[in-house]
Amino acid sequence: MKKSNFHSFIIIILILIKVQVYTIIETSANPTPVRIIGGFLPKENVSLSLTKANVLIEVDAINYPDVIRWNFEGNYTIYNPNNSTEITIAIPFYMSFVANESLQVNGNPINIDDVINLNNVSEIWNNYLDNLDEIYYRYAYIFNLTFPTNDSLNVQFNFDSLTWGINAYFDYVGKYDIIYDVGTSRIWNGNITEKVEFRIHGRQPDYRYYANQCNISEIEDGKSYVWSWNNEIININLVGISYLPSQQEFFYFIIFTIIVIIAVIGSIIGITFFIIKKNATQKHTRKKES
């Protein structure tokens, strides 16, 4: 093996070790993946009021941990006390692989104009995101609405998540979160009456955000988790549920990682020893010949 090739090989191996160790540290400190969907965010300061919100997230965890899927339905009432106005609204999210997104206003379908990165688009959006310590950068569905004078619009937003094999995430020592961001309601003018319900069928979650504000009741094949507010300012940001990896899954991951690191280091030592021995043999042969 040429010297330059050997050096390249050693560098690649060291990079692999660094990536493996970094994965352990990073996933332990910041468990992923997080699935977050938020309420509506206006692009500019407005006098409009988000007076009501009714959110239902239905989670099918009957075949947990092999499969988990969930569907979202959000119904919102926005009131305009002034003259007719058009505004841009964002539906922020941090997730991937959803399908069948639909948006309706007063029962009539409208188009979602775009999906964008929320960063550095609107001062209001930037200020809101800067105050969210719990959330990573976020994307958003964007649409425009014209609000009639002194009247309300009822907006409904739905989507289905695709099927997830949850064990794929636990392999990275993560937790599986499904979270709704109620803090977006504070961007609008005035109080709100809001209900957020998680209906969990099958395997129940290991953790609830703001558990002291959550009411639990029995439903068919599972339980209902409800957070609600009545004509008030909502002072928290996130509600939702988490599934955590078992101790056995965590133990297997650590053992696997240790084995990989030992194998890589062993390979480096073995190859280095082989090259040194080979070079020494060649030198000894040359001396004999001379």
Summarised one tens digit per residue, pLDDT across range 19-47 is: 443 333 333 333 334 478 889 999 888 89
Higher pLDDT, 28 or 168: 168
Q: In the chain, which ranges are continuous DSSP H helix?
A: 3-29, 123-130, 167-170, 247-289
Q: In this structure, what DSSP letter does residue 164 have? A: B
36 touches 181 (CB < 8 A): yes
pLDDT score at 282 = 67
Identify the residue whose tokens are 């636990």. Answer: 170
pLDDT score at 249 = 57
Q: Measure the N-to-C terminal CA separation of the chain; round to a whole number of Å.
A: 24
CA nearest 221: which of 64, 13, 4, 93?
A: 64
Between CA 156 and CA 106 the distance in angstroms is: 8
What phi and psi values does residue 166 have, to the nearest 5 degrees?
A: -65, -25
Go through the chain and tell me how many residues it has: 290
Instruction: Categorize the per-residue pLDDT at 14 as very low, low, confident or very high, splitting at 50, 70 and 90.
Output: very low
Is the backbone peptide bond immediately before 31 cis, with ω within 30 degrees of 0? Answer: no
CA nearest 156: which of 75, 100, 91, 93?
A: 75
Neighbouring residues of 170: CB distance < 8 A, sequence distance ≥ 6: 65, 176, 245, 246, 249
Give the least confident one: 4-18, 215-229, 275-289: 4-18
pLDDT score at 192 = 97
Strand pairing report for 34-38 and 176-181: parallel
CA distances for 77 relative to 41, 106, 128, 209, 231, angstroms: 13, 10, 21, 25, 13
The token duo for 226 is 């409800």
The token duo for 62 is 């009957």
Burial of 100 (0-12, 13-18, 19+ CB in 10 A): exposed
3-state secondary structure of 112: coil
Burial of 99 (0-12, 13-18, 19+ CB in 10 A): exposed
Per-residue pLDDT for 15 more than 60? no
Average pLDDT estimate for 64-79? 89
Higher pLDDT, 276 or 196: 196
pLDDT score at 80 = 96
Between CA 38 and CA 17 the distance in angstroms is: 38
Please give the model's pTM, rounded to 2 decimal places: 0.73
